[in-house]
Structure 1
Amino acid sequence: MTRLALLQQSTAALRLYALVDGVQYRAQCGEPCTAREGFHSLFAGTPDAALAHAGPWLIDAEHVGARLVDTLAAMEQAVPAVSWLIAAQTLEGLAQLLQLNLDIELPDGRTALLRFWDPRVLVNLAEVLEPVQREKFFTHIHEWHLLHKGQRVWIGRQHAQA
């Protein structure tokens, strides 16, 4: 039984999403991520919209089918460009929630892009955020799975309290 199926026994609305780096997707799959059913750019509707092809894309595993999910799983093994989210929101709803975390304010008042779709950044982020920040960042995600140094790890709601 997969982790998603196990979790759906208590929360049926949970869905599986992949968060993918657009540049790596193109390099690995030979085609760009584009707005179509099951794909949503996190840069859509933001000042970075012109860079959507290179930015983060949220992909609904149910809508794109097993073949692409298998391709993404293979890509995850090859390059640090894929993480998996289990959440109850729709594709559009989850994308909007993730968009809220794209920009951070630096101590000097400048704004910076937070590349949390890169699994290497996400692991470090989870370790350095203060408890209140972790709660805010991860509260809408039931579980966030990724590879870290070749090992499967996950960050979940209960980790937001850690």
Structure 2
Amino acid sequence: MFRYILLDSCQHPRFHQKLQQWNVLCRSLFEGHAEEALPEIAPLLIDVTTDGEATRKVTEETTRIGQLKPCVSVLESTLPLLSLTEHLAQFHLIEMPDGRSMLMRWYDTRILPVWLNVLTAEQRMFFTRNITRWTSIDRFGIEQEHVLPERDMTTPQALSFPLQLDEHQADQLFSAAEPDALIFELRKTIRAEIDRVPQHVLYPFVQKHWQMARLNGLSKTAEQLQLLMLALYSSGAFIEHPCITELFASLTARQQSFSYQFNTLPESVWSTGKPLWEHHTELLKEP
């Protein structure tokens, strides 16, 4: 049995240089693709099968990195390094329902659980073939074990590549990534404030209010960011203000644009609650 660490070095660039210094075997999942010339940001499959000082260094360092950024998995497989690299590299690109090809960063541990969940049974069986255990460190720095398909004596049917996703699969993947993209945009304007909120509070808060925005017909990123800004500055209490009820009702009736109505909201809406960065501990107790 072989043991590997999979590191998305886009989250921690140039880690391959450390591996070279430590004389540790690794391969890039970009091999065979246009991005092969970018080892500094490649997903790296690192062989840690053999015990020793180098393996200890790699394990300790990647664990530390994974607790800070969502980029580390640990795999056990019956395949040697080159064979497993070639297998996983097949999933570098996916084909969207409209026929476009897209780079699929499934090794980002924020995306990995959703990726495993949206695959069909056949796709999942083939993707995880010859992998006997898979754990990852999630966005909150907590180790998670992923349930792999039960194995039988039959060989998973080969798939055509790039892997084709249907509209439902594509929508689930995009939806899973959207809250993180919105947090990235919010940090451009209120980074100092947002960084005061623990990730295990911030992410579910943004996800909840992003879903609220979508349910009320706000599909544009700019509109969702406006609503999220209000939610953050009031710790979500803005929803209790009667003007918000009127705003959502008018959106349903399509009377006026959201941006126009948002910009005419009274100051009292913004003062319905304290900012999240001053008030986040109480939110953990809410259902």
Taking structure 2 as the reference length, the TM-score comes to: 0.46
Q: Which runs of 5+ in 2 are unaligned?
A: 152-287
Q: Corresponding residue for 1:17?
A: 4
More strand, by proportion: 1
Alignment equivalent of 2:96, drawn from 106, 129, 152:
106
Structure 2 Cα separation of the partners of residues 157 and 18 of structure 1: 20
Q: Helix, strand or coil: the match of 1:143?
A: strand
Report how far residue 91 of structure 1 moved: 1.0
Structure 1 Cα separation of the partners of residues 92 and 57 of structure 2: 29
Alignment equivalent of 1:71, drawn from 50, 61, 73:
61
Structure 1 Cα separation of the partners of residues 150 and 108 of structure 2: 22
The one-letter amino acid of 1:58's match is: L
Using the aligned pairs only, state the percent identity.
Answer: 28
Alignment of 1:1-162 (within 5 A): 14-26=1-13, 31-34=14-17, 36=20, 37-62=24-49, 64-148=54-138, 149=140, 150-158=142-150
Q: Corresponding residue for 1:4?
A: none
Report how far residue 140 of structure 1 moved: 2.6
Q: Corresponding residue for 2:244?
A: none
**More displaced stretch, 88-97 vs 131-140:** 131-140
Structure 1 Cα separation of the partners of residues 2 and 143 of structure 2: 23
1:134-153 Cα distance to aligned partner (Å, 9 max, x none): 11211231111113343522
Q: Which has the higher contact order (CA 8 A, sep 6+)?
A: 1
Q: Which runs of 5+ in 1 are unaligned?
A: 1-13
Report how far residue 59 of structure 1 moved: 0.4
- 1:143, 1:157 within 8 Å by CA — same for their partners in 2? no
Q: Helix, strand or coil: the match of 2:32?
A: coil
Taking structure 1 as the reference length, the TM-score comes to: 0.78
- 2:124, 2:149 within 8 Å by CA — same for their partners in 1? no
Cα 1:32/1:88, change in 2 over 3 Å: same
- 1:39, 1:59 within 8 Å by CA — same for their partners in 2? yes
The one-letter amino acid of 1:25's match is: H
Where has structure 1 moved over 6 Å in runs of 4 or more?
none
Structure 1 Cα separation of the partners of residues 117 and 6 of structure 2: 20
Structure 2 Cα separation of the partners of residues 151 and 50 of structure 1: 31
The one-letter amino acid of 1:69's match is: T
More helix, by proportion: 2
The one-letter amino acid of 2:3's match is: L
Structure 1 Cα separation of the partners of residues 65 and 2 of structure 2: 20
Number of aligned residue pairs: give it: 143
